[in-house]
Structures are given as C-alpha cells and as structure tokens.
Structure 1
C-alpha cells in the first residue's frame, strides 16, 4: 500500500463530509496538501449539523429546541465551517457545496427513495473528481456509514472512474492505507481550523482535538463489483441486541436499486421482505437470515444493516452498514463508551 498520495494540478479532490467539522477532522491536512499541489478542492456537506441538541442547549441556555432553533444552529455551524475552511485554505480557494439533508437522517434518506443518490450523482457529474474522500462503511455514526452507501450507489451509476479514499472517525482504525507524513505547519493550520468549531468544542473539546491531532489515514478502496448471488446470508447480532432493530437491505443491480426495511419478530422462521412490486423470501435462523433472490437480482451489489428504530439516546451504532460479501470479516471494535452520547 502506498505511503503517500501524489496529487497534481490535474487532480480534482472532492471531500464529502456528513457534518460540518468532519472535513477538518478527517482531511484537514489532505486538503492543505492538495491545494499546495495545485489541485482543485471541493467540500460537499451532506447536512448542516442542525440536530445537535446538547451543545445547543448548553450554549443557548434553553431546553426546548424547535424548528427555528435548529435552523439557527444550522446557520451557526455553516458559519463555523466557513471560518474553518478559510484557516485550511490560507490564501487559496476551496469550493463548497451544501445538500442540507437532515442531520441524523441519512439512513432514512437512503432507505426512503432514490432522490439522495440522484443528487450525489449530479454533484459528482458536475465536479468530475479524480479523487473522492468519503466516510468509511465501518464508521459507527449512522450518518457516516449511510452516506458511504449513498456515494457507492451514485458512483456505480457513473461511467468515469475515480479514486475512492475512505476515512474513519468514529471507530478504531481499519489498518493499512495511505498516511500523510507529519507536517507541523499543516497540523497547526488544522488545529486552528478545528478551533473555529466553537459549538462542537463546547462539550467535547478534549475528544475532538485529540481526533484532530491524529495522523490522517485514508484507505483506498475499489469500486464494489456486482456478484452472482442465488441467496444472501446475513449474520444476525445476538438476540439482546437485535430485538429493537430494523433489518435494512440495499441491493444494486444495474440501474435498479432495491431497498428493504423490515422488523424481524422473535420466533419468526420465514419472512417476506417486500419492496414495491418485489417480494423476497427469507429464512430466519438463529445466527443468520438466508434471502433467496429472483433471477433479475442475482447479479448485484448488496449492503445490509441492523438499525435501531425509534428515538435515540445514543447516537452511535453497535453495528454499521456492512457489505454482504464481507460479512465474514471482522468488524471494528466499538467506540469508547465515553463517546456514546456523541455530539458529532
């Protein structure tokens, strides 16, 4: 695996951030290195980070937060992001795009319809990146892993290839990858950029500055390849963890994307999984679900997740999205318990 990432004036780097501050935490030094090399850099924010209640309550000294309060917080985070990017860019230019999707709502957006994937494809087509810097599928924050799946679906529909580089913030490292060599000047500018996020540092200063001080590492990944599946075998978590979870499945076959969301009742042995005019038949075992695929969907790329439904007290997932063909691999270790109320 290469130890450095060569960039030049011909390159176009797209950094996709689920929330304002993720671009700095994950790629603040990479952005600087790309600009120094003459590459064109764009940051695409999926959300404005508006659903961030505990820092907002602390700073604004109010308990009840309505729609107006959330929009006020979103505006604050947009302003903080502008200051942070100015610190990273120095006298250079960073282009910015904002999708304005619901904070902590990207899983629902992914499962609801194709509009989010179409929007991402439009952004990719308009910018034409040579490199896409994107959240890892293994990130414990549900917005991060859902955005990864959205981006993969959008990239699958594009004819032009690009280098995918994943970053992992809310979990332990995956190992390997491209690590940027230490550079004190870049690190100082990244620290200054992170200091712009006053709203985020208000309750999590030590944790976030520690994350920002880590060596930046990016894992190059290949485009997911469609495989022939007669059946999908999806592992189940232990019973104590899956009872209140929905089973999510995304299948991409050519231009067609199938989304399935279902509750698996205890004691169920056979289950019909419905999506529009398509019904899949599943056999539920103690450790896995076996899903039979019709001929038209057997050549596909598949992702699955056990997703906590309803109101959340804890932001982070116990199990993020998984590539069905990688289910036998080991999952990253859980995040530290002190981060369980994560305010990202």
Structure 2
C-alpha cells in the first residue's frame, strides 16, 4: 500500500492571515461536509446543570481570546454561581505576525517583537476576563510556543504534560473546559490530546466532568451532538461583546468573525466527539490491532503529503509518536496497525496490545487548518465507527 515509517514530526510553519482565519468558519467556496441540523440537549436543562457553587472550574485556553469565544458564557455562569474559577492560557498567541504587522505598522518581526506582542495579548486577555467577571489573579499564563503545540505533542511533550498535570493537582477541578480533539486548529486539537493524557496521569481523585469546545469548524453552530448548550442572556451577551472588544489586536481582520460567536448559544461537546464527515474512522480489537479507514475529502487548497499520525500512550509512562506516509494510498482505504507480517511495510517497534490510549490523525494542511482533528482510541477493544460522529466518554 506504499505505507512507510518516517521519523516523528517535522517542523511546520503556519502563517495566519485574513484568508486563513476565515477558512475554518464558513468562508465562501469552502465545501465542507453536509451537516444536519443540530439536535442539542434542551438549553434550560443543560444550563441549569452545568456549574454550581460547589464546582471548581478550570478553563484551558490555547490562546488569548479563546477564553471569550469558547467559554465566555460558562465563565459568567460560574462566577454568578459562586464556583471557584481558574483560566490557564497555554500559549500567549505571540506567533501571529500578520496581525502584529498591522497593529504595529512594522514589517520585521523577531523574537523580541513576538515577546512584546505576547505580553500585549496577555493584557488583552486579562481585560477580557475582567469584563466576564473573572479577576486577573485567577489567570495563569503557561507561555508554551504559539503554533507549536502539535510539535510539542509529537516531539517533546514532557514539559507541557508536567505543567498540565501540575495544574490539575493544584486546582483539582470538578469541571474542565478544553479544546475538542475535533478542532481543526492544530494547536487546539493537540492541546485536547495533551489534556486527555494529563487527566489519566493526574493525582487520584481528580476526575472532573469534561466539556470540549470547538472554535475552528466551518459548520460550528450547526454541528449535532453538543452535550451542553448555553444560550446567552442579554447581560451575558453584552459582557461577551465587551470581552471581544478587549482583544483589540485581533480586530484587524477578525472582528466580525469573533463577534459571530455571539450569534448562537455557547456549545460544548463530549470528549470523544467526532463530527460527521471526519476523514478518519478507527477501531481497535482485542489483540491491540488498530484498523484505520481513510475517507479523505478533495480540497482544492490542501497542500502537503497525507500522513497518518499516531500517538501511543506507553504503559510505563510517556508518549510514543510515529508517522506513516500515505503516499500512493487511495483517498479511501483501510490500514492495519501494526501492518500484517509479509506486507512489506515497516512500523516502529512497540506493543499496541499493551499500550494505553492511542490517538490517530490524518495530517494534511488545508490552508492554515487541518482536514480533521484527532480520534482517541481508549485502552482495550473498540468498535466505534468514528466517522459517524459517535459520542463517548
């Protein structure tokens, strides 16, 4: 089938311009999968049960502004309910050169300039949190590399996993909101994988309820399968608009895109959510074999060779990433991992039977975004056709 092993990950440079920002949110000409109307949980029931005074809420924001776009209503509800709140910004959003050039009216962006822009965005995040009722002291900035979380996941995840496990141990959340593995932004989906692993490595008794949020998806407000839906009250919507306004550096091309998030309810998805039309489905049998079915969609602006990326959780601790080139493989094909003996395909040593969770992703750029997010296969046999959008825990 032309499947061959390649060393883990390669450096990728992402450039966020106005066109790229629109690609994940229904830009004209973007032909995504047909999405049926949403069938959310009744809003009243979901809203009343999501957060209480006894909760300790932890929000993991990949970048400044995600706290507002994805969890602005949830944060306001938590503050109103009297819950404990912590917001952790995993990156400072400093690697956004085109926005920075427009804001600062300079062409050269070096390390010093990026650091300055990161501090500016941190200040905007604190101002936005203030509009949502969250004091600055409840924010934490981890300052991992912006546009680099997938590389960290696949090349050197130790530091970020230690930070996430430490945060879980400190906060001991009863409710955690974090990026869905299905998000099409590589930073977001990678953080979702890292958080899922960190939860398994967290101290005993840290078993929070989980809310996955999507920020980058072309049919976000129409996706079925949301576990929680929070319609905004008039006062909550007004506070959210002020919070969006606080992120002034992001208004150059994206203000209309940002305010569009306020048009519908704030929605959260189950941990194992996979949207309809996802390019991968996967199953794992009792022998540990993983069968991945590829249903890659034609994309006229896609670039780069298709690669199947797998992250294996080792039973003794640590993660083992590897990549399989799909050169010569049909856009609709099924691949067995590890490859069957005699197939002529190579595969890194390792026992999938003894492995913990595995995460699988089709790596192919579509402009700035991914064609699809990650699929999680928990330990033990699974029989879920992930491409059908099944929910799990």
TM-score (norm 2): 0.72
Contact between 1:227 and 1:298, CA under 8 Å: does it hold in 2?
no
SS of residue matched to 1:262: strand
| More divergent stretch after superposition (290-299 vs 55-64) | 290-299
Number of aligned residues: 311
SS of residue matched to 2:232: coil
SS of residue matched to 1:300: coil
Alignment of 1:150-161 (within 5 A): 150-158=194-202, 159-160=204-205, 161=207
- The aligned counterpart of 1:260 is 321
Shift in alpha-carbon separation, 1:122–1:235, aligned structure 2, 3 A: same
Aligned to 2:213, which of 149, 167, 179? 167
Structure 1 runs not aligned, ≥5 long: 269-283, 333-344
- The aligned counterpart of 2:356 is 300
Higher relative contact order (Cα pairs below 8 Å, separated by 6+ residues): 2
Structure 2: distance between partners of 1:51 and 1:81: 16
Cα deviation code 1:72-111 (max 9, x no counterpart): 1101101111111111117x67611111011110000111
Shift in alpha-carbon separation, 1:129–1:239, aligned structure 2, 3 A: closer
Alignment of 1:66-145 (within 5 A): 66-89=110-133, 95-113=138-156, 114-145=158-189
Structure 2: distance between partners of 1:286 and 1:85: 45
Instruction: Return the offset for 1:297.
Output: 3.8
SS of residue matched to 2:237: helix
Structure 2: distance between partners of 1:244 and 1:136: 25
Instruction: Return the offset for 1:251.
Output: 1.6
- The aligned counterpart of 1:187 is 237
Cα deviation code 1:247-271 (max 9, x no counterpart): 3211224443432233516348xxx
Alignment of 1:12-31 (within 5 A): 12-31=56-75
- The aligned counterpart of 2:289 is 231
Shift in alpha-carbon separation, 1:30–1:252, aligned structure 2, 3 A: same
- The structure richer in strand per residue is 1
Cα deviation code 1:176-224 (max 9, x no counterpart): 321124311111111101100011112111111111333111224479x
Shift in alpha-carbon separation, 1:170–1:285, aligned structure 2, 3 A: closer
- The aligned counterpart of 2:335 is 289
Structure 2: distance between partners of 1:58 and 1:179: 36
Contact between 2:306 and 2:327, CA under 8 Å: does it hold in 1?
no
Instruction: Return the offset for 1:245.
Output: 3.7
Structure 2: distance between partners of 1:260 and 1:250: 4
Instruction: Return the offset for 1:119.
Output: 1.4
SS of residue matched to 1:20: coil
Structure 1: distance between partners of 2:142 and 2:92: 8
Instruction: Return the offset for 1:306.
Output: 2.4
SS of residue matched to 2:86: strand
SS of residue matched to 2:108: coil
